[in-house]
Structure 1
Amino acid sequence: MFNKKVWGSLVLAATLLVSAGCGSTAKTNDESSTDTAAASGDKVYNIAISQIVEHPALDATREGFIAALKDGGFVEGQNLKIDYNNAQGDQTNNLSIAQKVASDKNDLILAIATPSAQAVVQQVTDKPVLFAAVTDPIAADIVTNLDQPGGNVTGASDTNPEAIAQLMKFISTNFPNVKKLGLIINEGETNAVVMADKAKEELDKYGIELVKAPITNTSEVKQAAESLVGRVDAFYVTLDNMVVNGFDAIVQTANDNHIPLFSSDRDTVENGSFATVGFKYYDHGYQVGQMAVDILKNGKNPGEMNITVPEKLDLILNLKAAEAQGITVTDAMKAEVKDAANDIVE
């Protein structure tokens, strides 16, 4: 006769084995590598990134930052874990992300764009914070001093007032028919307001009026652009995250109506505006990544690190955009480009 107690024991053992198998989770290569680093005694660094929204300039900033970390010996999946958080343009999400990264055990936090930086610096006071793609960190109440920011915060501004001055001069010199410049703007973004004020200051010198079309969310960008048709002679876009997120609608409106479109960064020129005075956001992010390496590897105090601004400015032209917008690109315009091989986009 079969022993029922033995049978019961065998069934129980089999059940436990199956349950253990179902509860296991396969590790990714990055997780396995990180575990290996931890097992070998090497420190694994944790960096959190808070980004307000995805668009080419901010994405390039993040990519440059990570590349600089790698070049500095901090490799994701080996001795580095990156916690990337995107607020999708939502301020509630933005605050939640800031609270999350503040409570997590991070060695450093990167905030990309002004709204992200504002939220993070309010929540994080006990670990290094870097910011990037911030137009005016003082006006945004992120720091009080550019040379000695103090505390646990430093980073890089993505604008140099001279870039706006040069672009407005380029417009006045090469587009004498432009008497009114239309600006789609989210006035809730400090960075956009600061740049708009600087543009107006420069335009006043040339007798050009800045005409604003305010928006409160990205879905309003197309309507705002269309509302300016017939009222202005050209469009201008600042480093306004909400507006740039809907940039394709502005390009379409400009092309359909042969309206010259000017912007404030290289990525938007590559994506359809005619001209800017600017730089590469990848390089901007790389510069901030180098600061992160200095903090993590050399123990540098963020509060003693100068906040930097772009120095290598150049006029950037998009010839395909010029054709679509009915612009005749003259030799005089091209002559203003210092690095024609890289900064004239064909």
Structure 2
Amino acid sequence: MKKIIAMILMLAIVITGCESKGTKNKTLNIGISQIVEYVALDENREGFIKALEESGYKDGENIKIDYQNAQGDIALSQTIAKKFSSENKDLIFAIGTPSAQSAFNATKKIPIVISSITDPVKAELVKSLEKPETNVSGTSDYLPVERQLDLMKKLLPNAKKIGFIYNTSEVNSEVQLDELKKVAKGYEIIAVGVTNSNEVNSAIVSLLKKIDVLYVPTDQLVVSSMPMIVKNSLQAKVPIIAAEKGSVESGALATVGINYYKLGYETGTMAVSVLKGEDISKMPVKISDNTEVYINEDSLKKLNIEKPLIDNIKYIKTK
């Protein structure tokens, strides 16, 4: 009888050990949902994956990354989110507000880390930046519009009419438009809303006839149309002040921008903490404070604008 009990105990230990080993060596499934293919968002994703790798989480080894791009289609982003939810991913990384909202609507259980989102609270993803109280946390690309306005004043002192083009269903853009209206005292703000990429061309052609400078927010639908917007703006000799570096690389004149690769990396370190068991509902949303002034040298010349006397400018050329 004692031998039987001993054998049972040994078997239990072996089984428990195997289960622990199996759990330890389990391949984690991570879904990445990106709203559109765009340089800033791509850098965001690359930084995220790099942070995972440097923490020992490598795709094809102990994690499996399922990257999906909605190509600007909200319905497709919702389909992607439902797919990730049904597959019970261990973690979802949502890049851009529409992707984040789709993921949050699809699941309240799977941890969702977010990035490239201006206002997670207004997007109803978290209760507060300090304490999300949901299955969502991550990083925000919020940058006070006033910083861009100060740069515009230095580069374009005679500008009086500011154009603003945005996607009417993009919460980020509404936040930036409201802020611009509050801080741009003495300027006339002429805003034009669009609902899809097919409307951008006619909207921008009409808007350029009425303004001195165009402001482009961190709006995924709009920035994905930057080559066309830049072409029309340069022809009309209307400078573009952008909200992020990627737009300047596409031909916008200038921005005070954050580094989206670093932002993604920071999000990746947060994801690692979640994968190791930290409660995402208690993780504060982080806002980047590392900014630099970027000016497109090609656009500067085409617009016949002299190089400004501003410290620490990074001149870049159109890609």
Which of 127, 130, 133 lines up with 1:147 in the alignment?
A: 130
Residue 304 in 1 paired to residue 276 in 2? no
Alpha carbons 1:51, 1:87 under 8 Å: kept: yes
Q: Which runs of 5+ in 2 are unaligned?
A: 1-20
Q: Which amino acid aligns with 2:294?
A: I
Q: Distance in 1 between matches of 2:67 and 2:147?
A: 35
- Match of 1:85, SS state, is strand
In structure 1, C-alpha distance between the alignment counterparts of 2:142 and 2:305, rounded to whole Å = 26
State how far apart, in whole Å, the 2-side matches of 1:72 and 1:40 are.
Answer: 18
Residue 39 of structure 1 and its aligned partner are, at CA, apart by 8.9
Whether 1:191 and 2:172 are equivalent positions in the alignment is yes
State the AA in 1 paired with 2:197: T
Name the CA distance, whole Å, in 1 between partners of 2:68 and 2:300. 36
2:153 corresponds to: 172
Tell me, which stretches of 5 or more residues in structure 1 are unaligned?
Answer: 1-37
Q: 2:225 is matched with which residue?
A: 246
Are 1:218 and 2:201 an aligned pair? no
Contact 2:138–2:285 (CA under 8 A) maintained in structure 1: yes
Whole-Å separation in 2 of the counterparts to 1:240 and 1:200: 17
Q: CA deviation at 1:42?
A: 2.0
Task: Indicate yes or no: 2:238 matched with 1:259.
Answer: yes
Partner residue in 2 for 1:25: none
Provide, for residues 76-131 of structure 1, a one-character-per-residue CA deviation record: whole Å limited to 9, x for no partner: 11111011111121122121111111111311111110011111112211121111
* 8 Å contact kept, 1:166–1:277: yes
2:168 is aligned with 1:201? no
Distance 1:47 1:232 in 2: 45
Report the AA paired with residue 245 of structure 1: S
> Is 1:72 the equivalent of 2:43?
no
Match of 2:16 in 1: none
Contact 2:127 2:134 in 1 (8 A): no
- Contact residue 49 and residue 109 of structure 1 kept, 8 A: yes
The alpha-carbon deviation at position 141 of structure 1 amounts to: 0.7
Give me the TM-score of the superposition, normalised by structure 1: 0.82
**Which of 69, 76, 80 lines up with 1:97 in the alignment?**
80
* Structure-1 residue corresponding to 2:111: 128
- Alignment-mate amino acid for residue 170 of structure 1: L
Report deviation, 1:41.
6.9
2:95 aligned to which of 103, 112, 117: 112
For 2:119 and 2:176, the matched residues in 1 are separated by 9
Q: Is residue 151–residue 256 contact of structure 2 (8 Å, CA) maintained in 1?
A: no
Post-superposition offset of 1:264: 0.6
Q: Are 1:52 and 2:31 counterparts? A: no
Name the aligned partner's letter for residue 59 of structure 1: D
How far apart, in 2, do the equivalents of 1:173 and 1:310 lie?
Answer: 24
Q: How many residues align structurally?
A: 297
1:127–1:43 CA distance, 2 compared to 1 (3 A)? same
Distance 1:220 1:57 in 2: 23
In structure 2, the partner of 1:31 is none
Q: Tell me if structure 2 keeps the 8 A contact 1:186–1:216.
A: yes
Letter in 2 for 1:293: V
How much has 1:47 moved relative to structure 2? 0.2
Contact 2:48 2:265 in 1 (8 A): yes
How many angstroms does 1:287 deviate by?
0.7
SS of 1:138 mapped into structure 2: coil
Does the 8 A contact of 2:52 with 2:272 survive in 1? yes
1:26-85 deviations in Å (ceiling 9; x for gaps): xxxxxxxxxxxx999722111001111111111111111111111110001111101111
Aligned residues of 1:50 and 1:110 also touching (Cα < 8 A): yes
1:176 Cα offset (Å): 2.1
**Aligned mates of 1:203, 1:41 — CA distance in 2:** 55
The offset of 1:230, in angstroms, is: 2.6
1:272 corresponds to: 251
Contact map agreement 1:257 1:325 (CA 8 A) in 2: no
C-alpha RMSD of matched pairs (Å): 1.7
Could you list the structure 1 runs, at least 4 aligned residues long, displaced by more than 4 angstroms after superposition.
38-41
Q: Deviations over 1:109-160 (max 9, x none)?
A: 1111001111111221112111111110111111111011123211111112
CA contact (8 A) 1:267 1:280 kept: no
Looking at structure 2, the residues matched to 192 and 132 of structure 1 have their Cα atoms a distance apart, in angstroms, of 15
Percent of aligned positions that are identical: 37
Q: Distance in 2 between matches of 1:117 and 1:229?
A: 32
Please say if residues 260 and 325 of structure 1, whose CA atoms lie closer than 8 Å, have aligned partners that are also in contact.
Answer: yes
> 2: distance between equivalents of 1:130 and 1:176?
41
| Mapped partners of 1:118, 1:97: distance in 2 | 12
